[in-house]
């Protein structure tokens, strides 16, 4: 990486002092922050000498502040850089890294996107984008970009290991195992990959042994794959596991908010777990979508249970009357 300084034909003491200051800053940065050279990009080359000196002074101050975790101070120096030379890709990249360190993920994403508009093939910035997306739980998008990185660097085992980790975070163990086998075939294995493969194969075997006669695991896999309401309904109707029912009914409410059955399932489980207040809230939200008399009866029954659990006997009787009347 080269930081360009132009030799002026007119040398004087003042400029020599400024040049010495910049050289000192470069010395400090490279010896106190060895990681900088690995994940940053070159400064702009089209500056006059005065602007270059000011820009580099603020830029190196920003790096120094970041190295001692003064991220807000680093951002302030980067803002000074941006005033001198607006919209510089190196500054955008550093903005993103500092906001990321401050857990201000929206701003981190905004600035890395701006940087990538200017340099879309930059591998360091693409890897940083993956980290930003991962922290915001945008795993599908992170996986897509990680696959691009692996395609650009097919011999890089670390990138492929990163892809397996993303698949695991996105609850795709089969894809993770498939990627491990591909890495082993193309690049050989590592201790991490061997241990992970063993763990995933044991998990796969355990799920196979625990599979219910109703093929519950298959129903789960089917819904995890196609995300359709029909697959979800089959899963909920064939499971007796409270953990599974609570997890997938919650997903159902988020994905299919106009389907009353998912509200009913979650309300029932919450009542069984004595979470009467939450159950009542869910059931009252879902009953508005009911059009079938039989399902309406099921809602009245569960709502009555919720009120009973809360000690509100008046409302319990009210819904029991609705139940008997209908």
Q: Which tens digits make up the pLDDT trace of 46-92?
A: 557 888 899 999 999 999 999 999 999 999 999 999 999 999 999 99
End-to-end CA distance of the chain: 78
Angle subtended at Cα 308 by Cα 306 and Cα 312, rounded to the nearest 5 degrees:
105
DSSP state of 228: -
Rounded-to-integer distance, Cα 299 and Cα 260, Å: 9
pTM score: 0.50
Burial of 129 (0-12, 13-18, 19+ CB in 10 A): buried
- Select the highest-mean-pLDDT range: 15-29, 111-125, 284-298: 111-125
Rounded-to-integer distance, Cα 260 and Cα 252, Å: 10
pLDDT of residue 112: 95
211-236 core/surface letters (b: 16 or more CB in 10 A; e: else): eeeeebeebbebbeeeeeeebbbbbb
Do the domains 241-325 and 15-136 match in fold? yes
pLDDT of residue 87: 92
Rounded-to-integer distance, Cα 138 and Cα 295, Å: 36
Query: Tens digit of pLDDT for each residue in 201-250?
Result: 776 665 554 444 445 667 778 888 788 888 899 889 888 888 889 999 99
Query: In whole angstroms, how large is the CA radius of gyration of the chain?
Result: 29
CB 210 within 8 A of CB 220: no
Give the fold, CATH level 3, of 15-136. 1.25.40
- Residue in the structure block whose two tokens are 């029991």: 320
Rounded-to-integer distance, Cα 167 and Cα 162, Å: 9
pLDDT of residue 91: 95
Local confidence band at 324 (pLDDT 50, 70, 90 cut-offs): low
- Residue in the structure block whose two tokens are 């002092």: 17
Question: Half-sphere exposure of residue 200, counting CA atoms within 13 Å on the CB side?
Answer: 21
The per-residue pLDDT of the chain, averaged, comes to 80
Rounded-to-integer distance, Cα 35 and Cα 124, Å: 12
Q: Where is pLDDT greater, at 22 or 52?
A: 52
Rounded-to-integer distance, Cα 315 and Cα 99, Å: 51
Domain ranges of the chain: 15-136, 241-325
- Beta strand ranges found along the chain (DSSP E): none
Which CATH number fits the domain 241-325, given the four candidates 1.20.120.400, 1.10.287.3510, 1.20.1050.10, 1.25.40.10?
A: 1.25.40.10
Nearest residue to 127 (alpha-carbon basis) of 3, 34, 38: 38
pLDDT of residue 40: 55
Mean per-residue pLDDT for 152-162?
Answer: 85
């Amino acid at each position: 990486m080269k930081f360009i300084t132009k030799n002026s034909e007119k040398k004087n003491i003042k400029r020599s002092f400024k040049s010495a200051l910049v050289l000192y800053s470069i010395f400090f940065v490279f010896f106190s922050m060895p990681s900088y050279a690995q994940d940053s990009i070159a400064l702009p080359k089209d500056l006059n000498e005065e602007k270059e000196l000011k820009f580099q002074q603020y830029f190196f101050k920003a790096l120094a502040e970041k190295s001692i975790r003064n991220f807000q101070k680093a951002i302030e120096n980067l803002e000074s850089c941006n005033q001198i030379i607006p919209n510089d890709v190196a500054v955008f990249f550093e903005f993103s890294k500092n906001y990321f360190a401050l857990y201000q993920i929206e701003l981190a994403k905004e600035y890395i996107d701006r940087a990538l508009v200017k340099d879309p093939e930059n591998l360091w910035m693409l890897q940083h984008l993956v980290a930003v997306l991962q922290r915001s739980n945008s795993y599908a998008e992170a996986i897509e970009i990680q696959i691009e990185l692996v395609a650009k660097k097919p011999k890089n085992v670390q990138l492929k290991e990163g892809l397996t980790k993303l698949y695991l975070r996105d609850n795709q163990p089969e894809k993770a195992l498939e990627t491990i086998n591909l890495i082993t075939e193309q690049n050989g294995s590592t201790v991490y990959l061997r241990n992970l493969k063993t763990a995933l194969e044991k998990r796969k075997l355990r799920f196979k042994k625990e599979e219910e006669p109703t093929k519950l695991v298959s129903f789960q896999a089917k819904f995890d794959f196609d995300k359709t309401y029909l697959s979800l309904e089959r899963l909920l109707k064939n499971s007796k596991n409270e953990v599974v029912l609570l997890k997938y009914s919650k997903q159902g409410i988020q994905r299919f908010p106009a389907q009353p059955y998912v509200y009913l399932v979650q309300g029932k489980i919450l009542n069984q777990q004595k979470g009467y207040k939450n159950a009542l809230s869910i059931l009252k939200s879902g009953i508005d979508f009911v059009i079938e008399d039989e399902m309406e009866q099921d809602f009245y029954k569960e709502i009555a249970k919720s009120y009973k659990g809360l000690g509100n006997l008046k409302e319990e009787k009210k819904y029991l009357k609705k139940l008997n009347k209908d």
